[in-house]
Amino acid sequence: MKKKAAVIGAGIGGLASACILAKEGWDVKVFDNNRKAGGRCNIMEAQGFVYDMGPSWYLMPDIFEKFFALLNERVDDHLGLVKLSPSYRVFFKGGRQADFYSDLARDAQTADSLEPGAGQRLREYLKMAAYQYNIAMGKFVWRNYDSPLDFFNWRMLSQGVKLSVFSRMQDYVGRFFKSPEMQKVAQYTLVFLGSSPYNTPAFYNIMSHVDLDMGVFYPQGGLYKIVEALEKIAARSGAQFHYNSAVSRILTYGSLADGIELAAGDKVPADVVISNADIYHTETDLIKEQRLRSYSRRYWRTRVVAPSGLVLYLGVKDKIPSLAHHNLLFSADWGKNFSDIFDEPRWPRDPSFYVCCPSKTDPAVAPRGKENLFVFVPIPAGLEYGPGELSAYTDRILHMMEKEMNIPSLRSRLQVKHHFCVKDFVSRYHSFRGSALGLAHTLGQTAMFRPANRSRKIRNLFYAGGNTLPGIGVPMCLISADLACRRILSGTYRSMAQP
């Protein structure tokens, strides 16, 4: 008899878990409340424009290679990757802009143009980031934690000091760069982690190694190609997918899960349940008995949640010469922007935001001669608003794009304009406080301090996805599936090769 796994959620962590378990010979059934796979990594079409609804940066290609190899597959057989050049363009308020190429010689010159002498310091910064990346991946990120001693021991603490775990990103970056421009270039990657430089450990400067050394890639057709590939691989090994199938509870017997119940009423027996759904939702809505919940109400009240986002999907009637594929507009007052998101939640008064224009690289995502734009403006999780505020803020962002990113008359050139905001993250993905990304990567929510990937109370309930180990982002969610499956399959499992 095959062992049975019920997976709640077909996000990246759920799909990746299904791939591994189905390949290992398990009978795997995946249930998602939405009408297709992908979770936040989803796709939307309107008038010939094809939008990646969530992720648009393909980073850490090494992790994808390892994950596909684990499944005896090759990335190249599934994804047509292009290395972007430039990797991204930054716009500073007031008209200054710069391109970064993930090419050290070229990027050092750009750094010098932004801050005299910063080129050499960028080399030193990235050398350190590369060194720390290898320690972080090997010792902290890519591992399960079973006891506090796994973290609080001399070896780990001394590695932690080498990683600058105990200093703040803002202070660390300030040791290398003095100009606000270069500090922003070194820190913007924290947005990938849903964090602020003022509350994030400095070792997340490893993200600069990820974008400025390893490079930024794009799979032709969009990031949804990753989802299609994972779904296909899992289905080939026999995994079954059920969409429009919300799970309403995890069925338990004593301290064991013995299946799930769907909102439609069907019961599905299972030897193991893996929840890829938001952990807060799983713990508070799907586990009905308080005594079986791993975390208290107080625990959730004190979590630092990553920002939500105002996401705009725009179709433009003609071309926009001023944009590259990835574009970032940095606010003048960085501190105020982060404070408006994390400390005194409000619509950010001086927002930084990101604009993706994938039609620069991929003709398939927009009708000929037109441009596809995805805009992501980080805003506070849990922000309350009415339709009037949403539309006024959207207009303000479009005005800023016209002025600061040199896109004249953008508003009158729009053919498609859709938005997705806090309430949509809740209704579509059951996201805690409508966060776009999940729990932020503060020190208190990193490594062994992040929600564990195994329930403390229900022995055969596991978690995979951005809210558990190791954290946010598509590559991290692939690792999360590997880590959960290490627990489920223990001795028999040949895990992903670690650095």
Q: How far is the CB of 473 from ligand FAD (least distance, A)?
A: 4
Which residue do the tokens 């982002």 mark? 473
Complex with ligand FAD: residue 41 or 229, whichever CB lies closer: 41
Q: How far is the CB of 430 from ligand FAD (least distance, A)?
A: 4
Complex with ligand FAD: residue 37 or 111, whichever CB lies closer: 37
Q: How far is the CB of 441 from ligand FAD (least distance, A)?
A: 11
Q: How far is the CB of 178 from ligand FAD (least distance, A)?
A: 29
* Angle between helix 61-70 and 474-489 (nearest 10): 30
What's the CA gap between 159 and 201, in Å, rounded?
A: 14
**C-alpha 245 chain-centroid distance:** 24
What's the CA gap between 56 and 53, in Å, rounded?
A: 8
Binding site for ligand FAD (CB under 6 A): 8-13, 31-34, 39-41, 54-57, 59, 246-247, 276-278, 281, 309, 311, 376, 429-430, 436-437, 465-466, 472-474, 477
Complex with ligand FAD: residue 129 or 436, whichever CB lies closer: 436
What's the CA gap between 6 and 254, in Å, rounded?
A: 18
What's the CA gap between 472 and 147, in Å, rounded?
A: 23
Q: Any bridge partners for residue 242, and if so which?
A: 31
Amino acid identity, position 211: D
Complex with ligand FAD: residue 128 or 305, whichever CB lies closer: 305
What's the CA gap between 474 and 11, in Å, rounded?
A: 9
Please check whether residue 438 is in contact with residue 470, taking contact to mean a CB–CB distance below 8 angstroms: no
What's the CA gap between 468 and 448, in Å, rounded?
A: 10
Complex with ligand FAD: residue 114 or 488, whichever CB lies closer: 488
Complex with ligand FAD: residue 4 or 40, whichever CB lies closer: 40
The conformation of residue 138, written as its DSSP 8-state character, comes to I
Complex with ligand FAD: residue 179 or 427, whichever CB lies closer: 427
What's the CA gap between 452 and 299, in Å, rounded?
A: 13
Q: How far is the CB of 271 from ligand FAD (least distance, A)?
A: 19
Amino acid identity, position 379: I
What's the CA gap between 361 and 359, in Å, rounded?
A: 5
Q: How far is the CB of 136 from ligand FAD (least distance, A)?
A: 17
* The token pair that represents 419 in the structure block: 């938005």
Q: How far is the CB of 371 from ligand FAD (least distance, A)?
A: 19
What's the CA gap between 27 and 13, in Å, rounded?
A: 17
Instruction: Kindly write down the DSSP assignment for every residue of 181-227, as one continuous string.
Output: HHHHHHHGGGGGGT--TTSSBGGGGHHHIIIIII--EEETT-THHHH
Please check whether residue 247 is in contact with residue 277, taking contact to mean a CB–CB distance below 8 angstroms: yes
What's the CA gap between 55 and 42, in Å, rounded?
A: 8
Complex with ligand FAD: residue 280 or 347, whichever CB lies closer: 280
Extract the runs of DSSP E, i.e. beta strands, from 76-180. Answer: 81-83, 88-92, 97-100
Complex with ligand FAD: residue 172 or 188, whichever CB lies closer: 188
Complex with ligand FAD: residue 111 or 329, whichever CB lies closer: 329
State the chain's maximal CA–CA distance in angstroms: 68
Q: How far is the CB of 462 from ligand FAD (least distance, A)?
A: 13
* Angle between helix 474-489 and 12-23 (nearest 10): 40
Q: How far is the CB of 66 from ligand FAD (least distance, A)?
A: 15
Q: How far is the CB of 400 from ligand FAD (least distance, A)?
A: 18
Q: How far is the CB of 115 from ligand FAD (least distance, A)?
A: 27
Complex with ligand FAD: residue 56 or 294, whichever CB lies closer: 56
Q: How far is the CB of 239 from ligand FAD (least distance, A)?
A: 15
Q: Residue 17: is it exposed, middle or buried by C-beta count within 10 angstroms (0-12/13-18/19+)?
A: buried
Complex with ligand FAD: residue 242 or 396, whichever CB lies closer: 242
- Where residue 339 falls (left for φ over 0; alpha for ψ -120 to 50; beta otherwise) is alpha
Q: How far is the CB of 274 from ligand FAD (least distance, A)?
A: 11
Complex with ligand FAD: residue 39 or 315, whichever CB lies closer: 39
**C-alpha 39 chain-centroid distance:** 11
